[in-house]
């Protein structure tokens, strides 16, 4: 008794630490519970003391913990179960429920006062009494009350439930942690309340919670209460259905209004999405059959409810700017700003509810739509689908548009395959498209460009129905269609006006929701009926229909005049117009009706109305970006169709510029600057009197004359346009194209007050031009144009944009605007001078050709400008002055486009001809990177020039060629050739040089003989030239060819071919040079039948592979993993030379690492390593497969032993080494025995399906009991003991060995487990450490996470007896994509606090992944799907071989991960590895400085060269020369 009092008093001392209090209470409770000498009275005495301390509020948290222990430990039956009667007796004696609630309220008030004194806000970590946090205080109260209710079979009184709710949830001063714990408690403990208590609590408390304060726990509590109460009232009914577990019996559900309010106002998007799903469930999906009898009324009630709630929101008026508040107020939306934001959010949620309701209700309707949704009526943006039929058919491409239905796609596939529509089964990813998907559109399924569609043909499917059966089904479907929610909503009065009003609230999210909703319902009938006037209009403009209320001009003004309508309504009208001109969908349309509509629309001036959408002031500068993009895209597509009778082409249908050709010479005649030369015909239009329009048929452009009456109307429309209107239209198209190409589409609406760039409008000597676009951009930066959103269109704006700054939508708009611009110029070629003299025309051409960050835009510029250059200049048409008032006298002398563009490009950016050693500005690198299309266009213009062409173009070909030869001779230096961008620049210059050599007045022998030899010896094969000249370099020298990348090499080869074409001397010289370089016998290798000299350079990703000697892939995969481990590589390369090199493997590993770091070749053959390495003390057979894990263990052990002999630390023990803690914990006496064991890797089985589960089983341990009980050394008695192995010390890099191999002793063969086993990107090892397990055993808060990042994977592909190893390795930021792979920047440190925010479910963005597969090293896009497909194993659904089968075949992935490398994110262990910088003395005892800013891996180049010289390999040329890329 004295011991108990001593421990009790010790725990009550105010200055005793928390740890001492816990130890004292543990011992106190153990004696009271376990000791046989303790009497029942003593136990009850201490229970009373605990209750008294809790009542006084002086010892609350320890008192509840001790009381909880007593209650659990005292009252047990003989079978270890709780004695409910005893716990109920305690409740009657001490009224514990009331005491607990009162204590909770008192402690919460005390915590609030403490925070008020300190000036802090209440939080979970707030200390209440200096020892225990507020979270622990609330948690122990709730846990103890839950124990009393559950173990004592008690019900919580209504008053106590209200007290807890009012203290932790309804209390305005409660923190988020209070509400979260309370919500969870009520959710779990709902069964401990009587029905009356539940009902009162739900109606008076739950439904009064502010939705802004709902979190995930609050939502679960709300949902549980909602279902429980309504089930009790029999308004809901549970069923065992596969789709819905609850059926709604009556729509008048208790709490439904609050469910709506919470869905609209809750902040958490995930909770809002679930609440919306619940509303849809109880509003339509989960209704009983009797409630679905009248679906029309059902849909109408839902719409009325939505619009009633929309009307109840007092929305901001037009022009009132809502402000988004990112920091929420504790008291909710108390200010007007918060109120506006909340209302905008509610509007957006209501629109989302309508959208999802229509989608859900219409998903089972699969008949042909007579009232199609608006989105299915007009053409969307082009998209190409990749169709993959069964194995008997080849894949093909299908050109579609985003608004095409799945039914239409299915029908077109069936026609291509020659089968019935019902026999085609389509699938995406792992889901087959059903008949219910037929009416869904491509964009609704979120198909991407080149989306892969799996197609199977079922020959036994039901054939086509009879005509009578089909008509009956369609008639039935038409009746059902009238009851669809989208059709009902579209017939609502003023619904379209209300939606349009919502778009004026200056909220992009609301505009998006309104647009999405409009796509799902049929088109507004009012504009459709008004536009019918263009079907009945006479040529004079009057309607033939006497009942038509409007004139054509009124319709054009009301619907297409930007000044008379809003941007969103304008966009909607353009979409309706597109549906009339270019009908989409499956509706039957009279073939002549769209052409009649087009003709009348053109005659009434419709083209001008469409073009005016592109004008500067048509759309406000702050209009929503998506609205602007869609308006421009549809307007351009409509204008193209009106002029060319041609819809927008998909990217696959566009003609590559390399298939286009220029006219041989300029056309001579009046008004032209060129002459005729009698060259071959290139397909340009003859005569030039009638314009030629390009129509794409098949893969090549077909040029046809404008013959049809509709096309004649289009031609006359553009030709009769006034000169001023035509110039204005050109200016519109230029601005839209330029701003879209720069990714700054808003600039199309901003005024341009900047004068034309003097650099581009000066037509004098090109040497007076500023050095580059970069300098012009730099000179304009001070005028307001930043690197982000520029103020206006100006020269070089495209150049300033990042590579990914132009979206695919903007790129499509730029291409479409440029095509329309060229089409208009081709139709009125006699007005080309107007285009030349537009402000900033030259800036525009150069900027989009050279500076646009989007490749497809630059390619389109070349294609379109070449088409423009192929047009012959036509004389002005003979029209009256009334029809076309010509105000410019210079239109009679028109400069040909080819002449204009040639002289424009002669004033080139000087940086492209700069011979300086390296670029000084980032902008120059950007120009180099994007210059390929610029040079291609220039080369096309100068290709195959005859004397007459040279005279007409006024160019000096000899001077240009000499300048190119001078640049090629002096520009290539080691400082420039290392830049990948320079390789693009070099390829462009070589392409231009080739074009100049095609001129007739160029002597190839005079100008090209020396160049041809230089190309062979310097640009392509310099190392072979060095070998031929028998030059012995000192050390390792760079013999990389000037052309080291495929584009430049291809250009060099093409130039060589052109130099030899028609010139016998050049052909002989090149042939002799190639024979000397590559066909010179070397007797040294005459007997090596498999000799293949490595002549390919490093992979594009910058790394060197390792040769496979036959079965050494297990070596390569591990060596590559070790090399990419930075500390190991540094220490191994820094180790001093050893006298006994033949006895250690370390020198050979140094040689391997040195070549992987310094070699310029694709791979290295480690011959000496194969001969020196011994596995288990025996030499290895390079043609016999071994285990990669065994090799890893042996190699690391041998290297560490050698380093130990040199007096150096064991590098791999420092990097991979950790420590286990072998624990034996006795249950009865609680004695613990610990023993540490070191490890270099963690071996885990793969039967647990995941790495976390396997680690959990690894540290779980086993219970030693019965005969296997452990003999406690202190008690000298056998005790039930928990024996487990957990992690004591974690390594900096953890190697995980997955035990996929075993031996079947019965079958006498090795086996492999290909089971599915997943592992995360980020692994938290804290739950598996000794400290983490101990914290959970004591129910303490978890410790800070100890995160590991996945950095390497060794994969085994094959069976146990045979297979192949390769590696996936994550390149760190210090091994980023560098121009010189030997220059490695520092690795950034990651703060410990940042590691807690890393998500293990998604791949981290820092660093790229590489695949090391023996000699081949390539970049790999490692995503979640790729990681599962490449490394997890298991089974997958393969394409079935049987075309009659409808179920994919299941196959086993025999390739799966074998070794995992995880690197610590936070600093778990600091490495103290020695480092030796090149030039230092190899004293192993002197400590070296840590990795610093100037201490990079290039300092290890000297040791690398030393090992290369020792082997006489690399580029030493003494025994066998290993050469860079393609140098032999």
Active site residue ranges: 1113, 1364
What are the two backbone dihedrals, phi and then psi, of residue 403, each rounded to the nearest 5 degrees?
Answer: -100, 15
Nearest one of 902, 1043, 1047, 1017 to 960, comparing CA atoms:
902
- Which two three-digit tokens encode residue 584? 């989409």
For residues 1326 and 1259, the answer to whether their CB atoms sit within 8 Å is no
For residues 1527 and 1021, the answer to whether their CB atoms sit within 8 Å is yes
Nearest one of 151, 149, 241 to 192, comparing CA atoms:
149
Q: How long, in residues, is the chain?
A: 1528
DSSP 350-368: HHHHHHHHHHHHHTT--SP
DSSP 122-177: --TT-BSSSSSBHHHHHHHHHHHHHHHHHHTT----HHHHHHHHHHHTS-TT--HH
**Helix, strand, or coil (residue 72):** helix
CA distance 1261 to 1232: 14
DSSP 1223-1241: EEEETTT--EEEEEEEES-
Pairing of strands 1322-1324, 1293-1299: unpaired
* Residue 954 burial (C-beta neighbours within 10 Å; 0-12, 13-18, 19+): exposed
For 491, 523, 572, the CA distances from 496, given in Å and listed in that order, are 10, 9, 11
* Residue 1294, strand partner residues: 1462
Residues 6+ apart with CB under 8 A from 1114: 1185, 1186, 1187, 1188, 1191, 1365
End-to-end CA distance of the chain: 95
Number of C-beta neighbours around residue 1363 at 10 A: 19
Alpha helices in 75-95 (DSSP H): 84-94
DSSP 1337-1349: HTTPPPPPP-EEE
Q: What is the largest CA-CA distance in the chain?
A: 126
CA distance 787 to 800: 6
For residues 1295 and 1242, the answer to whether their CB atoms sit within 8 Å is yes
Would you say the C-alpha torsion 869, 872, 875, 876 has a positive or negative sign?
negative
Alpha helices in 1297-1398 (DSSP H): 1330-1337, 1392-1395
CA distance 1028 to 1219: 58
* Residue 148 burial (C-beta neighbours within 10 Å; 0-12, 13-18, 19+): buried
Look-up: residue for tokens 């077909």?
A: 702
Angle at 281 (CA atoms; ends 407, 346), nearest 5 degrees: 95
* Residue 1354, strand partner residues: 1367, 1459
DSSP 257-286: HHHHHHHHH-S-HHHHHHHHHHHHIIIIIT
Q: Which helix (H) or strand (E) holds 1100?
A: none
- Return the beta strands (E) in 1053-1196 as ranges: 1105-1106, 1163-1164, 1174-1175, 1178-1179
Radius of gyration of the chain (CA): 40
Pairing of strands 451-457, 382-388: parallel
CA distance 407 to 429: 18
């Amino acid at each position: 008794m004295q011991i108990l009092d001593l421990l009790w008093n010790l725990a009550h001392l105010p200055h005793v630490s928390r740890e001492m209090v816990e130890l004292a209470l543990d011992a106190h409770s153990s004696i009271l519970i376990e000791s046989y000498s303790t009497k029942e009275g003593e136990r009850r005495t201490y229970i009373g003391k605990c209750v008294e301390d809790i009542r006084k509020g002086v010892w609350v948290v320890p008192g509840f913990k001790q009381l909880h222990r007593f209650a659990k430990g005292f009252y047990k039956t003989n079978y270890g179960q709780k004695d409910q009667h005893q716990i109920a007796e305690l409740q009657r004696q001490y009224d514990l429920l009331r005491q607990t609630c009162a204590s909770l309220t008192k402690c919460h008030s005390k915590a609030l006062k403490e925070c008020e004194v300190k000036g802090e806000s209440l939080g979970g970590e707030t200390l209440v009494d200096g020892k225990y946090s507020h979270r622990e205080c609330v948690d122990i109260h709730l846990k103890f009350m839950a124990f009393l209710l559950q173990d004592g079979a008690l019900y919580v009184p209504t008053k106590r439930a209200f007290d807890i709710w009012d203290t932790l949830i309804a209390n305005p001063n409660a923190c988020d942690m209070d509400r979260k714990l309370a919500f969870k408690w009520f959710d779990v403990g709902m069964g401990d309340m009587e029905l009356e208590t539940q009902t009162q609590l739900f109606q008076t408390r739950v439904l009064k919670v502010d939705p802004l304060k709902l979190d995930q726990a609050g939502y679960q509590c709300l949902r549980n209460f909602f279902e429980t109460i309504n089930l009790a009232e029999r308004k809901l009914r549970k069923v065992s259905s596969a789709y819905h577990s609850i059926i709604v019996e009556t729509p008048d559900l208790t709490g439904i209004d609050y469910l709506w309010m919470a869905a609209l106002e809750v902040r958490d998007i995930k909770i809002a999405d679930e609440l919306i799903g619940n509303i849809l469930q109880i509003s339509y999906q989960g209704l009983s059959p009797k409630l679905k009898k009248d679906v029309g009324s059902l849909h109408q009630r839902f719409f009325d409810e939505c619009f009633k709630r929309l009307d109840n929101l007092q929305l901001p008026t037009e022009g009132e700017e809502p402000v988004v508040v990112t920091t929420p107020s504790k008291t909710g939306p108390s200010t007007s700003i918060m109120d506006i934001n909340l209302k905008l959010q509610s509007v957006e949620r209501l629109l989302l509810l309508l959208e999802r309701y229509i989608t859900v209700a219409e998903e089972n309707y699969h008949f042909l739509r007579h009232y199609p949704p608006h989105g299915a009526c007009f053409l969307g943006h082009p998209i190409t689908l990749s169709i993959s039929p069964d194995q008997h058919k080849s894949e093909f491409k299908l050109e579609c548009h985003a608004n095409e239905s799945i039914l239409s796609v299915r029908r077109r596939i069936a026609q291509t395959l020659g089968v019935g529509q019902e026999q085609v089964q389509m699938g995406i990813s792992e889901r087959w498209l059903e008949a219910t998907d037929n009416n869904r559109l491509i964009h609704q399924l979120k198909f991407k460009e080149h989306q892969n569609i799996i197609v199977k043909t079922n020959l036994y499917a039901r054939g086509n129905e009879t005509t009578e059966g089909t008509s009956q089904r369609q008639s039935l479907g038409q009746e059902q269609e009238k009851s669809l929610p989208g059709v009902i909503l579209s017939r609502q009065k003023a619904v379209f006006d209300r939606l349009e009003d919502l778009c004026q609230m200056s909220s992009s999210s609301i505009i998006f929701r309104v647009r999405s909703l409009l796509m799902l319902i049929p088109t507004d009938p009012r504009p459709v009926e008004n536009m019918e006037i263009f079907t009945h209009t006479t040529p004079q403009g009057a309607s033939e229909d006497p009942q038509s209320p409007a004139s054509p001009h009124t319709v054009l003004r009301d619907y297409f005049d930007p000044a008379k309508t809003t941007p969103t309504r304008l966009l909607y009208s353009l979409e309706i117009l597109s549906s009339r001109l270019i009908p989409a969908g499956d509706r039957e349309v009279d073939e002549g009706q769209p052409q009649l509509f087009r003709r009348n629309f053109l005659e009434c001036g419709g083209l001008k109305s469409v073009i005016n959408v592109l004008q500067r002031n048509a759309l406000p500068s702050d209009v929503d970006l998506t609205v602007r993009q869609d308006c421009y895209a549809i307007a351009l597509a409509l204008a193209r169709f009106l002029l060319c009778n041609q819809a927008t082409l998909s990217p696959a249908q566009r003609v590559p510029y390399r298939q286009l050709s220029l006219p041989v010479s300029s056309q001579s005649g009046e008004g032209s600057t060129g002459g005729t030369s009698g060259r071959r015909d290139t397909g340009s239009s003859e005569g030039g009197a009638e314009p030629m329009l390009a129509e794409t048929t098949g893969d090549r452009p077909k040029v046809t004359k404008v013959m049809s009456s509709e096309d004649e109307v289009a031609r006359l429309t553009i030709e009769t346009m006034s000169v001023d209107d035509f110039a204005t239209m050109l200016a519109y198209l230029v601005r839209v194209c330029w701003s879209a190409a720069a990714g700054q589409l808003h600039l199309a609406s901003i005024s341009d007050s900047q004068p034309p760039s003097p650099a581009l409008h000066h037509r004098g000597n090109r040497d007076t031009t500023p050095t580059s676009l970069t300098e012009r951009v730099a000179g304009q930066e001070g005028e307001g144009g930043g690197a982000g959103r520029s103020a206006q269109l100006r020269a070089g704006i495209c150049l300033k944009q990042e590579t990914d700054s132009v979206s695919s939508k903007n790129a499509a708009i730029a291409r479409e605007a440029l095509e329309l611009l060229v089409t208009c110029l081709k139709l009125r070629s006699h007005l080309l001078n107007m285009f030349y003299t537009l402000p900033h025309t030259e800036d525009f051409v150069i900027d989009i050709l050279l500076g646009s960050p989007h490749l497809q835009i630059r390619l389109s510029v070349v294609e379109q400008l070449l088409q423009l250059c192929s047009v012959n200049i036509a004389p002005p048409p003979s029209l009256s002055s009334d029809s076309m008032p010509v105000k410019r006298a210079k239109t009679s002398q028109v400069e040909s486009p080819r002449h204009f563009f040639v002289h424009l490009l002669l004033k080139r950016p000087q940086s492209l001809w700069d011979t300086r050693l390296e670029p000084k500005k980032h902008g120059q690198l950007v120009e180099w990177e994007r210059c390929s299309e610029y040079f291609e266009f220039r080369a096309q213009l100068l290709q195959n020039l005859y004397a007459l062409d040279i005279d007409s173009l006024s160019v000096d070909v000899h001077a240009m060629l000499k300048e190119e030869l001078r640049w090629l001779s002096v520009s290539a230096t080691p400082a420039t050739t290392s830049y990948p961008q320079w390789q693009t620049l070099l390829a462009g210059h070589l392409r231009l040089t080739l074009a100049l050599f095609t001129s007739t007045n160029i002597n190839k022998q005079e100008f090209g003989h020396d160049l041809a030899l230089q190309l062979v010896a310097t640009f392509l094969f310099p190392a072979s030239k060095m070998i031929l000249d028998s030059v012995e370099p000192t050390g390792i020298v760079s013999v990389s060819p000037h052309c080291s990348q495929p584009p430049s090499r291809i250009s060099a080869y093409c130039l060589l071919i052109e130099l030899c074409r028609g010139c016998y001397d050049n052909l002989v010289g090149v042939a002799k040079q190639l024979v000397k370089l590559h066909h010179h016998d070397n007797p040294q290798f005459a007997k090596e039948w498999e000799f293949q000299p490595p002549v390919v350079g490093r992979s594009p990703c910058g790394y060197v592979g390792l040769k496979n000697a036959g079965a050494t892939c297990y070596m390569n995969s591990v060596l590559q993993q070790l090399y990419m481990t930075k500390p190991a590589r540094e220490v191994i390369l820094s180790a001093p030379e050893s006298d006994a090199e033949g006895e250690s493997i370390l020198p050979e590993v140094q040689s391997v690492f040195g070549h992987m770091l310094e070699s310029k070749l694709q791979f290295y053959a480690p011959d000496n390593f194969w001969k020196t390495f011994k596995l288990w003390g025996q030499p290895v057979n390079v043609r016999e497969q071994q285990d990669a894990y065994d090799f890893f263990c042996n190699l690391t052990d041998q290297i560490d032993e050698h380093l130990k002999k040199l007096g150096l630390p064991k590098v791999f023990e420092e990097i991979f080494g950790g420590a286990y803690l072998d624990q034996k914990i006795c249950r009865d006496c609680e004695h613990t025995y610990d023993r540490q064991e070191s490890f270099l890797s963690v071996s885990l089985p793969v039967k647990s399906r995941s790495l976390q589960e396997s680690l959990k089983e690894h540290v779980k341990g086993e219970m030693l009991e019965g005969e296997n009980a452990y003999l406690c050394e202190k008690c000298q008695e056998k005790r039930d003991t928990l024996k487990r192995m957990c992690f004591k010390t974690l390594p900096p890099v953890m190697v995980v060995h997955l035990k996929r191999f075993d031996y079947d002793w019965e079958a006498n063969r090795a086996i492999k487990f290909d089971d599915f086993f997943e592992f995360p990107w980020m692994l938290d090892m804290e739950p598996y450490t000794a400290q983490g397990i101990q914290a959970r055993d004591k129910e303490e808060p978890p410790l800070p996470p100890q995160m590991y990042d996945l950095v390497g994977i060794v994969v085994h592909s094959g069976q146990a007896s045979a297979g192949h190893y390769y590696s996936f390795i994550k390149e760190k930021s210090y091994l980023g994509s560098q121009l010189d792979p030997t220059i490695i920047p520092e690795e950034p440190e990651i703060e410990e606090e940042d590691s807690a925010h890393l998500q293990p479910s998604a791949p981290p963005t820092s660093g790229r992944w590489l695949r090391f597969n023996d000699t081949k090293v390539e970049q790999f896009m490692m995503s979640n799907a790729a990681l599962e497909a490449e490394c997890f194993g298991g089974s997958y659904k393969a394409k079935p071989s049987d075309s009659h089968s409808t179920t994919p075949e299941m196959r086993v992935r025999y390739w799966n991960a074998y070794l995992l490398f995880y690197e610590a994110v936070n600093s778990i262990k600091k490495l103290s590895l020695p480092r030796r910088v090149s030039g230092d003395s190899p004293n192993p005892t002197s400590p070296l400085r840590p990795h610093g800013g100037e201490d990079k891996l290039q300092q290890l180049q000297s040791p690398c060269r030393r090992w290369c010289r020792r082997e006489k390999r690399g580029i030493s040329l003494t025994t066998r020369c290993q050469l860079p890329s393609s140098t032999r």
